[in-house]
Structure 1
Amino acid sequence: MYFDALTAAAIGDEITSALLGGFVQKLSLPTPESVAIEVYARRERRQLLLTAEARHPRVAFLSERPTTQPGLVTPFGLLLRKHVLDGVIEEIRQPVAERIISLSIANTTDGLNTRVWLDAELMGRHSNLLLLNGDRTTVLESVKRVTPQMSSVRAILPKRPYTPPPPRKGLPPHRVVPDDLASLGAQGKGSASLWQMLVSGISGLSPLAAREIVHRASGNAATKVNGWENWADLANETRRITALWATREWTPCIARTPDGVLAYAPYELTHLAQEAELESIETMSAAIEAYGGSLSGVVSHGQLRAQIVAQLEKRADRVRQRLASLEQQRSGSDDAQRLMEDGQLVLAYTYTIEPKQERLVLEDRTIALDPDLTPAQNAQEMFDQYKRRKRAGEDLPAVIEEAQRELALLAEYETFAALAEGHTELTQLRAELIAEGVVREGPEGAKAARKPATAKMETLTAPDGTRILVGKSAAQNARVVESGGPHDWWFHAREIPGGHVVARTGGAEPSGDTLRIAAETAAYNSAARESGAVEVVYTQLRNVRKIKGAGPGQVTYRNEHSVNAQPKDHASQ
């Protein structure tokens, strides 16, 4: 766990310089144990993540707005929306040698006049996010509630008195002298490593920082206590690292290997130089994001898009394999008639077949026989195989058609994932895929997305006042079709995955502008968005029919017209 007290100090400086006096514009819950706030400060919007996830608890800026779980509602999130959203960050605290970051937020909107503290306690599996009252005496809520039965030392429950985390034991890091370290060495086990001695004996030092100190003092991060005598060098290097709390001269660094980022720190990680490439990073947040992007449930838009596409491709591969197997079975069913003929020939030539004979050789064919069966039994076995293959052959066309429809629906979903623009569309698409059982997610995510929030259809207005409905997912496609009347006009890129578009003309022929805008919108919301021109079909909704047993938004149509349209985003105009 690399988010240690030194990292917390570096992050504290970074967010203080960027966010103090900033306005909290948006708030979201990427996971049940995380909160992301969008702050407008210094004429810039910044995304700040606070997460108590045990795998990688942290506070850091994000380069992109994180995705959220649609439908995720928690008591902590509700109170944040009441007291933090639309508030102003008045103060930021980060105690020396502690893994705690506190934001004081004042809110005077909607008749409120409150001041609360949002605390991030970043302590491994004991990490937590707390909302405290203005004088820091009472817990309003937390992402993890801790009952007295769970901890006799420090319960964390709503409306209970707030008790700060117990201070870390050990020597003050900035006052370490050689005699102190020699005393620690004498008290400990000689077989222990020096870095372990430093972690247990000096307040605020993490294993990563301790290894770096030992490496700088001895040339080997794994040096043992037993036999070590150069306590002066060890004390000097300890003070050199811990002096960062006073100098604030942070030099963010990551250690990168071919498999990813190994570690990060607000100082150079010289003890990892032999096994990784060291990179200087501009900010501490960027270093943390480089390390943590693949570890946490908190993901950016680009990461989520890639995850969705990968899951859809994986499922599509399985469907293709099943389709190939079905096609093979269909080719086998074509041989069913030959089995019937073979059985009849075996009966006709029974008198020529000797006991234990393995094949019947005729002029136009050779028929394999089971030597353990009589001619009549061999013939009956062939008749039975004929019946089984014939029955399978009768069912196969419908099964193959179902698999082909599923493949087409997956291609449609992949198109929507590629075209999704912004936070809401991606998170809603993910929720839709989970609810439809197209992709899977862990228990928490699946629970949160079981009833996804209904996304609003995009609505445009043509110059003549005609409303144009646009679908940007399979579920929205179904809603667009259901929302129109039988005499309204439906548009879709011909034989290309994409969104349904309906012009609500009430039965009248679409005007030139309405037809052009609807067609261009259908082209833009299709897999052919980057093409110069797209053929778009259009017909009245009475000619559009949902395919029985198919997925949402899958339809057939007739009596269509067509027009070539240039893909154009009319929603942004």
Structure 2
Amino acid sequence: MDYFLLRAVVDEINAHTAGCRVRDIVMPEWHQLFMVLSNQRVLAFSALASPNYLALAPQGHPITGVDRDYPFGRILRHSLKGAYLLKAALFGVGERLVRLTFGTVNEGRKQKFHLVFEVMGRHSNLFFLSEAKEILAVLKENSDLSTARPLLNGSSYSPPPSSNRAWPEHGTDFSDLPQAKKSIAFPPYLIEYFHRFPDEFPPFMQAIEAKHYQCVRHEFGTREFYSVVPLTHAAIQEYFTSPSALLLQEKQRERSGWMVQRDKLVRRIDELIARERERIVEFTAEKEKRQNYHDLLKQAELLKAHLYVPIVENSVHCVDYATNTTMDIPIPPDTTPTEYMNALFIRARKDRTALFHLAAQIAKREERLATLEQEQYHLRWAQGMEEVVATREWLLGQKTLPKKGKRNQNKGISRIKRLEVEGYEVAVGLSSRANDEVTLSARPDDWWFHAKDIPGSHVVIRAHNRAEPPENVLFTVAAIAAYYSRASDATKVEVDATRRKYVRKVAGAATGLVYYTHQRNFIISAEAMQNVPSLTLC
């Protein structure tokens, strides 16, 4: 979402919602917020990397999902329900920061609050501020005081560092294309366009200043992009009634886009799983062939003890005094018994060494297969392109992985779902790495759950320094483990539960692979699993 589109949306909000009251606030997902206004319009926010937008939805716009009672949404409802939306404003020219100002009257005392939306891709965030710019709530907290901008409740809000890019004044500012891309605060597609057609820059800016928006989807060369003002030399593919209509349609396209990428990754993992299984079959067959190295070694030892025996009909008659049996060992033509004995010793030694390496390869392939199956299953819970890309980079070793010594940009993506069951916090891992994090961060007395002999999530009840969870809580959490397993469509699922202190991870084991003892067993029905989606998120 570029600056011009955001500016057009802000103008649209001011034109259609000034003085409207907030009727309700709904957060169906942690990154998604809907604000229902008194004129039946809906302000829609998405702080996910993709889609990432602020839009004013039309009357009757459906809100997908039910409110999950997230803490951020709870605070907004408590403070802003019934408040008046006074105005929307941008922080500065070229900056993608929006401030929505609300006014309330509480016991005759007027108050103002601000909702700040930082539209910055995967770093997008929502802040709820007091009139004095004190942070009352933040969607994505950052408690690391060593960072440039810690984001903590109670601290003063400070905008993110400016990009320090220049704002062009003339079409000639785009003449040096490489320099313009580095220094001008315009989207790349507009920089390229005004580089070729500098005379169109003044009318474009005049239309922006006059708020003469006409949103279109352009095709220019091999690039497709959106613009709030039509460009003369770019082919128009589609018109939109408003900036928000453009964004809401783009949201659907982006959502479909990451789903296509997810399905593509699932198919790629299918190919890798089939390849790993083929390799395991090949290694197993090769291992079976080399199991007879003991027989080769025995023949070589017998030949060594009977080198003095003459060859009769191309074989050496040997006596095995350990078993009191005889054996005729054939000698290949043009080969002496000594040469054949040495060849047998070499073959036996090679087969014995190969058995060791084949066993290691089979174990490695089986671990890899388990990881692939686990991640393929967990992809069904992915919520956006960011998670799909992170999984692809980690699992398949794509070239998009950060170079050695550079910070992993996907390191901060958390695939852990947190639920609340009768006051107990429950952590659910939604990837192999998240499973390790959930399990290894648990306390010894916490309860640990996993579907028996089936790929699925590690689930932990945070029970440290708490009363022993009652039986109905344990059963509900077992149902969660069954629901987040590959057997979630089965009529019944067996789930093992044990204390975290009885769960062990062997050094060098695959990510997400653990061993456990002292388990008890739960049988979970399909009816019990149906109640899991309605549980409250922490």
- Please name the residue that 1:427 is paired with: 386
Distance 1:135 1:477, change over 3 A: closer
Preserved CA contact (<8 Å) 1:489 1:541: yes
CA distance, structure 2, for counterparts of residue 519 and residue 81 of structure 1 = 51
1:518 maps to 2:477: yes
- Deviation (angstroms), 1:544: 0.9
Distance 1:444 1:375, change over 3 A: closer
Distance 1:559 1:29, change over 3 A: closer
- Deviation (angstroms), 1:509: 4.2
The structure that is strand-richer by fraction is: 2
What SS is found at the alignment partner of 2:344? Answer: helix
CA distance, structure 1, for counterparts of residue 270 and residue 174 of structure 2 = 42
* Counterpart code for 2:458: H
- Deviation (angstroms), 1:473: 1.1
What SS is found at the alignment partner of 1:513? Answer: helix
Distance 1:431 1:329, change over 3 A: same
CA distance, structure 1, for counterparts of residue 166 and residue 177 of structure 2 = 28
Select 1:26's aligned residue among 46, 57, 66: 46
TM-score (norm 2): 0.55
Give the alignment of 1:517-556 within 5 angstroms. Answer: 517-556=476-515
Distance 1:431 1:377, change over 3 A: same
- Please name the residue that 1:339 is paired with: 296
CA distance, structure 2, for counterparts of residue 165 and residue 149 of structure 1 = 7
Preserved CA contact (<8 Å) 1:545 1:555: yes
Distance 1:364 1:328, change over 3 A: farther
* 1:357-409 CA distance string (max 9 Å, x none): 98779999886655453220111110111122123334544442332222112
Preserved CA contact (<8 Å) 1:86 1:109: no
- Identity in percent: 19
CA distance, structure 2, for counterparts of residue 156 and residue 135 of structure 1 = 12
Preserved CA contact (<8 Å) 1:535 1:563: yes
Select 2:456's aligned residue among 498, 505, 526: 498
Distance 1:361 1:461, change over 3 A: same
CA distance, structure 2, for counterparts of residue 284 and residue 524 of structure 1 = 37
1:303 maps to 2:260: yes
TM-score (norm 1): 0.52
- Please name the residue that 2:56 is paired with: 40
- Deviation (angstroms), 1:520: 0.9
Distance 1:569 1:342, change over 3 A: same
* Counterpart code for 1:569: V
Distance 1:26 1:299, change over 3 A: same
* 1:330-349 CA distance string (max 9 Å, x none): 21221102212333454537
- Deviation (angstroms), 1:522: 0.4
- Count of matched residue pairs: 372
CA distance, structure 1, for counterparts of residue 427 and residue 219 of structure 2 = 59
CA distance, structure 2, for counterparts of residue 406 and residue 412 of structure 1 = 10
CA distance, structure 2, for counterparts of residue 168 and residue 525 of structure 1 = 56
* 1:496-535 CA distance string (max 9 Å, x none): 1110111122385431221122011101111112223211
* Counterpart code for 1:537: D
* 1:247-279 CA distance string (max 9 Å, x none): xxx9x9xxxxxxxxxxxx669xxxxxxxxxxxx
- Deviation (angstroms), 1:428: 3.0
CA distance, structure 2, for counterparts of residue 371 and residue 133 of structure 1 = 84
Distance 1:484 1:166, change over 3 A: closer
What SS is found at the alignment partner of 1:406? Answer: helix
1:388 maps to 2:401: no
* Counterpart code for 2:414: A
Preserved CA contact (<8 Å) 1:462 1:513: no
- Greater relative contact order: 1 or 2 (C-alpha under 8 angstroms, separation 6 or more)? 1
Distance 1:80 1:37, change over 3 A: farther
- Please name the residue that 1:157 is paired with: 183
1:325 maps to 2:338: no
* 1:459-493 CA distance string (max 9 Å, x none): 22222x22222111111111111222212211111
What SS is found at the alignment partner of 2:460? Answer: strand
Distance 1:531 1:330, change over 3 A: same
CA distance, structure 2, for counterparts of residue 87 and residue 413 of structure 1 = 40
- Deviation (angstroms), 1:81: 10
What SS is found at the alignment partner of 1:334? Answer: helix
CA distance, structure 1, for counterparts of residue 369 and residue 288 of structure 2 = 21
CA distance, structure 2, for counterparts of residue 20 and residue 359 of structure 1 = 98
Preserved CA contact (<8 Å) 2:177 2:195: no
Preserved CA contact (<8 Å) 2:392 2:398: no
1:483 maps to 2:441: yes
Distance 1:421 1:569, change over 3 A: farther
* 1:149-200 CA distance string (max 9 Å, x none): 847xx6761479x99444389xxxxxxxxxxxxxxxxxxxxxxxxxxxxxxx
- Deviation (angstroms), 1:136: 6.2
CA distance, structure 1, for counterparts of residue 238 and residue 301 of structure 2 = 85
- Deviation (angstroms), 1:413: 0.9
* Counterpart code for 2:479: E
Preserved CA contact (<8 Å) 2:175 2:195: no
- Please name the residue that 1:471 is paired with: 429
1:417 maps to 2:379: yes
Preserved CA contact (<8 Å) 1:402 1:550: no
Give the alignment of 1:284-295 within 5 angstroms. Answer: none
Preserved CA contact (<8 Å) 2:427 2:460: yes
- Please name the residue that 1:167 is paired with: 197
Distance 1:539 1:82, change over 3 A: farther
- Deviation (angstroms), 1:300: 2.1
Give the alignment of 1:77-226 within 5 angstroms. Answer: 83-85=96-98, 137=169, 148=176, 150=178, 157-158=183-184, 164-167=194-197
Gaps of at least 5 residues in structure 2 are 17-42, 64-90, 102-126, 133-162, 200-217, 223-229, 240-244, 319-324
* 1:212-271 CA distance string (max 9 Å, x none): xxxxxxxxxxxxxxxxxxxxxxxxxxxxxxxx999xxx9x9xxxxxxxxxxxx669xxxx
Preserved CA contact (<8 Å) 1:536 1:562: yes
Preserved CA contact (<8 Å) 1:486 1:542: yes
* RMSD between superposed Cα atoms in Å: 5.4
1:569 maps to 2:523: no
Preserved CA contact (<8 Å) 2:262 2:388: no
Distance 1:82 1:537, change over 3 A: farther
Preserved CA contact (<8 Å) 1:24 1:87: no
What SS is found at the alignment partner of 1:553? Answer: coil
What SS is found at the alignment partner of 2:53? Answer: strand
Preserved CA contact (<8 Å) 1:468 1:518: yes
* Counterpart code for 1:385: R
- Please name the residue that 1:401 is paired with: 363
CA distance, structure 2, for counterparts of residue 410 and residue 475 of structure 1 = 12
CA distance, structure 2, for counterparts of residue 319 and residue 555 of structure 1 = 21
- Deviation (angstroms), 1:38: 4.6
CA distance, structure 2, for counterparts of residue 549 and residue 520 of structure 1 = 30
CA distance, structure 2, for counterparts of residue 80 and residue 412 of structure 1 = 47
Distance 1:86 1:301, change over 3 A: farther
CA distance, structure 2, for counterparts of residue 206 and residue 375 of structure 1 = 81
Distance 1:545 1:146, change over 3 A: farther
1:461 maps to 2:427: no
